[in-house]
Amino acid sequence: MTFRLRAAGLGDHAAMREVFERAVAVTGRARYSAPQVRAWIGERPTPSAWSARLAGLELRVAELPDADAGRPVLAGFVGIDGDGHVDLLFVAPGHGRRGIGAALLEEAIAHARAAGHGRVTTDASLVARPVFARRGLVEVGRQRVPRGGEVLVNVRMALDLDEPRGG
């Protein structure tokens, strides 16, 4: 099944929050405990608070056709900030391993290049680390992030855009 990438709009925010929550709750369990997953998801923000969280990010979404729903289904999204930092990259459970995450990340990298950034960075979860590594980002450190009474480990990664990359 093919997917389509497009710019996200305000009408996508609620679906993006759902993708985030499901991805963390299901996929996140591969590398994080149940208490860590609950802390990562956190309290459900109001729609305006979630939109504020997304403000300032260049957002792209991946859609899949859904004959049953009669409209496209949001399968994933990416957000990159004005400094070339990939802040969010999530793919809905059941849609992984189809190239959606890789395509979204390529969109973010292309945006960073077009904006003149010399480097792309991210703080990747242990689950997402391989997706970023396959796209040429390298680990530059590990971080322990306190959240909701738990400590989450993530990986600081970077890609110098001036250097050729494989993959």
User: What's the mean pLDDT in 56-66?
Assistant: 92
Q: Which of 3, 19, 95 is nearest to 54 (CA)?
A: 19
The span from the CA of 8 to the CA of 34, in Å, is 30
Q: Is residue 146 part of a domain?
A: yes
Instruction: State the Cα torsion 115-120-123-129 to the nearest 10°.
Output: 130
Express each pLDDT in 129-153 by its tens digit: 999 999 999 999 999 999 999 999 9
In a domain, 167, yes or no: no
**In whole angstroms, how far apart are CA 40 and each of 5, 26, 63, 99?**
26, 12, 25, 24
- CA dist 140 and 68 (Å) reads 44
Domain-located, residue 166: no
Look up residue 163 and give its two tokens. Answer: 């250097």
Q: 20-29: buried (b, 16+ CB within 10 Å) or exposed (e) per residue? A: bbbbbeebbe
pLDDT in tens, 70-129: 688 899 999 999 999 999 999 999 888 889 999 999 999 999 999 999 999 999 999 999
pLDDT at 5: 95
- Here the contacts of 43-46 (C-beta below 8 Å, separation 24 or greater) are 44/17, 45/17
Q: What pLDDT score was predicted for residue 13?
A: 95
CATH number of 64's domain: 3.40.630.30
Indicate whether 165 belongs to any domain.
Answer: no
3-state secondary structure 6-20: EECCHHHHHHHHHHH
Q: How confident is the model at residue 69 (pLDDT cuts 50, 70, 90)?
A: low
What pLDDT was estimated at residue 44?
A: 87
Evaluate whether residue 133 is within a structural domain: yes
Model confidence at 2, pLDDT cuts 50, 70, 90, reads confident
The count of domains in the chain is 1
| pTM for this prediction | 0.92
- Amino acid letter, 79: G
